[in-house]
Amino acid sequence: MCSEFDIIHRYFRRSASNAVLGIGDDAALIASTTGIELAISTDTLVCGKHFFPEADPYNLGYKSLAVNLSDMAAMGAKPRWVLLTLTLPEDLVKQNIAWLSGFSDGFFALADLYHVELIGGDTTAGALNIGIQIIGEVAAGKALRRSGAKLDDDIWVSGEIGDAALALQHELGQFTLPAVEIEQCLPALRAPAARVELGQRLIGLAHGAIDISDGLMADLGHILAASGKAAWINMTDIPCSSVLKKYRQQSVAINCLLAGGDDYELCFTAPKINRRKIEMLSSELAIPLTRIGEIYSGEGLIVKDAQGNTMTLEIQGYDHFRF
Ligand code: ADP
Ligand code: MG
């Protein structure tokens, strides 16, 4: 049995090097830098809503940080510090210490990869819930905003989308994939790539950006609403895996591509003049970057099929409060 303080000490406390003061006092201290803005964001993972109760703790530690890093990426910010708010069921702490070490290993594996420092948090007992606050740095005035899209911009998507949603459909028993295919899709759901470096490198190249957490249509829709613009995208240009391509004609695949969240790829808009530079960046970072459409004036989002016809869709992104 261990106390709140044992848990913090054993699994989370590390000496701070980027912060003036890390874990151990009533608050952490970070030094401010002239010409730098802080990008601050928080995301919560609720048991039963964002993950299954039996989810592997290593993946959970990894993913809960990844989704927060993704918000930094979408702003073009360099992630620097995190706070971790853990609500842990008593029996989990009593009976399953391996859970905590798995969780903290997964969390720190990703934190170390990006040199992000855990500087504080809170630990309480209750239904399993993981809250993370993240703080990043970005040059003053340079952050990528949802409101930045401009007329005639290209619309780009990083990586491939839809696999996380397809894997989730399988896990929920709503669509059955053969073993080799689910193996290919699961990593997108369990350990999504946060496009941390890409986001920072898009500053100066991209106009508007968002990370795809609620589905392409919903998230691109946020860019359009914030920018006061309209857009069209080509269904067939949306980058996806060979697995998803197989099911392309089926409504499950269309849903995964347009409304499936959880891939945490970036969707951004950029002027056409930057096409070559963006393609070079794609090769340099070895991250596929695909043009899927264009911004125009007005409002709304049109999805075109292979023949260039407007598709009629009944699709919405994920909304926690749609019952
Ligand atoms: P307080 O009573 O002032 O809220 P706590 O006892 O909750 O302080 O926390 C003690 C220290 O441990 C603080 O520095 C806090 O930020 C840190 N801390 C608590 N829980 C966590 C956690 N899950 N991960 C990292 N740091 C934590
Ligand atoms: Mg506390």
Q: What is the pLDDT of residues 247-272, one digit of tens each?
A: 988 889 999 999 988 899 999 999 99
Task: Give distance in angstroms: CA of 16 to centre of ligand 1.
Answer: 14
Task: Give distance in angstroms: CA of 48 to centre of ligand 2.
Answer: 25
Q: What is the pLDDT of residues 154-210, one digit of tens each?
A: 999 999 999 999 999 999 999 999 999 999 999 999 999 899 999 999 999 999 999
What sign does the CA torsion over 253, 258, 259, 261 have? positive
122 lines ligand 1 (CB under 6 A): yes
Strand, helix or coil at 241? coil
CB 159 within 8 A of CB 263: yes
Q: What is the percentage of the chain residues whose pLDDT exceeds 70?
A: 97
Per DSSP, 236 falls in state G
Q: Angle at which helices 251-259 and 163-171 pack, to 10 degrees?
A: 120
26 lines ligand 1 (CB under 6 A): yes
Give the end-to-end CA distance of the chain in Å, rounded to a whole number: 39
Predicted local confidence at residue 38, as pLDDT: 98
Model confidence pTM above 0.85: yes
Task: Give distance in angstroms: CA of 107 to centre of ligand 2.
Answer: 20
H helix intervals, 76-113:
90-95, 97-113
Task: Give distance in angstroms: CA of 36 to centre of ligand 1.
Answer: 27
Q: Which ligand is nearest to the CA of 84?
A: 1
Nearest-atom number in ligand 1 for the CA of 122 is: 20
The residue whose CA is least distant from atom 22 of ligand 1 is: 121
